[in-house]
A and B are shown apart, each in its own frame.
Chain A
Amino acid sequence: MSFVTVSGLHKSYGRVRAVVDFSLTIDRGQIYALVGPDGAGKTTVIRALCHLTAADGGSITIAGRDAARQFNEIKPILGYMPQVFSLYPDLTVEENLWFYAGIYGVTGSHYHEKSEYLYRFSNLKPFAGRRAQNLSGGMKQKLALSCALMHDPELLVLDEPTTGVDPLSRRQFWEILLELKRQGVTILVSTPYMDEVARADRAGFVFNGAKLAEGTPEELPKLFEGHLYYLECEPTAALAAALNEIDHLTARRFGGGMHIYIDKGWHHEDLVEPLRRAGVRPGQLKAIKPDLEDCFIQLMEAPQ
């Protein structure tokens, strides 16, 4: 029995279809990552899950309760951290914590214990008296997470918590998430960063409001079909255009070179002649293992 089940979720804003027949399941104690570019529909899924957006269709079950009808029973076990910083900027770190503790009925010595614990892992203790508006991006996110954790939620829902946060803070943030997972918290997190998927238990690729693929960080790259090569070259637009003229081949600029995708059932040996015409010697191509990003890009570009 999964802890979170979303099935057949639909949501349109006017004529824009934000989420189309979206389903996912999360087992208790797992970290599930929703990965996709901006505007893919991740936030809509999360907002529907937190009862902030009414879906047009589909159902959501959390801890065995129907989110549409029994959301009040879900609230006490849910911790939510929205995409934009949504604490009180004119209150201090301590005042924000105190305020959220009050809402969840965490009072007295229980509050003292809890806030000390949250300060320890967020390292925000020295900034307790600082107003939230004067915190750095990473510290803000840690404060928001602390507030969302005040009541020991069983399910933590985080909407792009690491977007716009420096790499070090991102790593620290994920350390905290992994620690929470060890304590048995179920986590749904959305992110535009592929590298974060590796730390999740399962991930779903979201694009144009639909889930393109789903699996563990190990399974997902295996969904890549065909062959991938790295071409060390000057990645000019002209070269990319010339290569993309070739059937069964897609070229994409990648860092200081190019990633060459060759369709399933074809090898670069079959394409020697056209490659040469584009100015590439077959020896320049190095076969590499596709990673998540290659997989995602291929899925995104597949005709749907």
Chain B
Amino acid sequence: MHRAFLGLIRKEFIQVFRDRNMLRIVFAMPIIQLLLFGYVVNLEVKNIRLDVYDFDQSRLSREFVSSTKAGGYFSPTPAARPLFDLERNFQDASRDMAVVIPDDFSERIARKESVTIGLMADGSDANATSIGSGYLAQIVQKFSRRVHGFEMPVDIKHRILYNPEAQSVYFMVPGIVATLLTMVTVMLTSMAIVREREGGTLEQLLVTPMSGITLLAGKLVPFGLLGLFEMSMALTVGVLWFGIPFAGSPLLLLVLSALYLLTTLGMGLFFSTVTTTQQQAMFFAWFFSIFAILTSGFFTPIANMPEWMQYITYANPMRFFMSIVRGIMMKGSGPVELLGEIYTLAIFGLVVLGFSALRFSKRAA
């Protein structure tokens, strides 16, 4: 049986390396995803184009305008259109925000009266808008503190642990690692098993004395190994090319990834039992991956989701793996800190793989 198992694994690798579609998934997908997420996806908001309507034109108002440049968050420019026509700046996307300084700005400040400035923003990019108004509020606060010359009674000194510069790529790469492992294993496993069914080879195997366990292990292990290889490749590029820090233990990550694989391989196996062609299997795997990625906290923090959606995320095994990857890579978490996730993934793995294996053996027999 040992030899049959090794034979299956060898056969599977030969097939993957001869199948152009599978090669694309194995090699092109991780590289493209890394480049896309590493360079294109940028959640930081910088260089907000700020339209300045300065009706005061005083030293103080100019000082205020130039203070917005600090940190590189805003690039202010004098208004190009009359105020009543301001909206067109947003419609043609030449500006992101506009600030209106009233003509009594410096006068009222000199009299130590409160002054109101207007802020208009293009809300079609909700993320940039909220971050930008936050920045501007901080700048206004700082400015008023300075001109009034007193300290606020309560002040916040904040210090961000782990990724203090809030670099998107540090946050993205662990997400990509989790995504890759999920997509590659679910997709390849389901497609490879369905291919055996399509080609009639599965039936041929069922007539042989090979046990069901050997057959399952021989079909799942190669794709588990490929998944781990993909993940290591993505991690290596992340560390060496993007220079992301790796705070925790790579070995722990590898072990917990293997634990997570029980679930994804089980999902792949399940999809192979509900589909009859490789295209169908790929579609199911794709749909599952989208669901898994969106509800994993990869792009949107789970805490930002509506409450009912937050409950749904508990049905997503990738959510827990995402916490593990980010925990180990960014915070250096150990097994003790991740105990909850480890238990959850162990249960997920047993249930999903167990159920799928049962379904598979019933359909096969």
Contacts and interface: CB of A to CB of B under 8 A. Distances in A.
Whether chain B is bound by chain A comes out as yes
A108 to B, nearest CB: 10
B7 interface: yes
B210 A103 contact: yes
B205 A103 contact: yes
Interface string A65-82: 000000010011010101
Most buried by B among A80, A91, A102, A103: A103
B207 A90 contact: no
Interface string A271-300: 000000000000000000000000000000
A221 interface: no
Contacts of B210: 103
Interface in A218-266: none
Given A87-B201, A88-B11, A102 B3 contact: yes
Interface in B10-26: 10-11, 14-15, 18-19
Interface string B16-41: 00110000000000000000000000
Interface residues on A, range: 20 to 34
B3 A78 contact: no
B207 A87 contact: no
A172 interface: no
B200 A84 contact: yes
B304 interface: no
A64 interface: no
B15 A87 contact: no
Contact of A88 (B4, B199, B203): B199
A87 B14 contact: no
A95 interface: yes
Nearest to A107: B3
A138 B201 CA distance: 19
B207 A50 contact: yes
Q: Is the interface of B mostly helix, strand, loop or mixed?
A: helix
Given A88-B11, A88-B15, A95-B11, 20 more contacts: A52-B203, A52-B207, A72-B209, A75-B208, A75-B209, A82-B203, A82-B204, A86-B201, A86-B204, A89-B199, A91-B11, A99-B11, A100-B208, A101-B7, A103-B7, A103-B205, A103-B209, A103-B210, A105-B1, A105-B3
Interface string B146-159: 00000000000000
B353 to A, nearest CB: 23
B239 interface: no
B11 A52 contact: no
B19 to A, nearest CB: 7
Contacts of A91: 11, 14-15
B5 to A, nearest CB: 9
Nearest to A85: B200
A117 interface: no
A104 B11 CA distance: 15
Nearest to A150: B208
A293 B19 CA distance: 46
Interface in A88-124: 88-91, 95, 98-105, 107
A186 to B, nearest CB: 16
Contacts of A101: 7
Interface string B58-85: 0000000000000000000000000000
A102 B6 contact: yes
A51 interface: yes
A52 B7 contact: no
Interface of B: 1, 3-4, 6-8, 10-11, 14-15, 18-19, 199-201, 203-210
Contacts of A52: 203, 206-207
B201 A90 contact: no
B305 to A, nearest CB: 44
5 contacts: A52-B207, A87-B201, A101-B7, A103-B210, A105-B3
Nearest to A52: B203
A103 B138 CA distance: 70
A82 B200 contact: yes
Q: Which of B6, B11, B15, B19 has the most CB of A within 10 A?
A: B11
Given A82-B200, A88-B199, A89-B199, A95 B207 contact: no
B14 A95 contact: yes
Contacts of A85: 200
A107 B6 CA distance: 12
A104 B6 CA distance: 13
A76 B209 contact: yes
B4 A103 contact: yes
A104 B207 contact: no
B7 A86 contact: no
Interface-centre pick from B8, B15, B201 (highest chain A CB count, 10 A): B201
A87 B202 CA distance: 10
Contacts of A72: 209
Contacts of A51: 206-207
Contact of A105 (B4, B15, B19, B203): B4
Contacts of A86: 199-201, 203-204
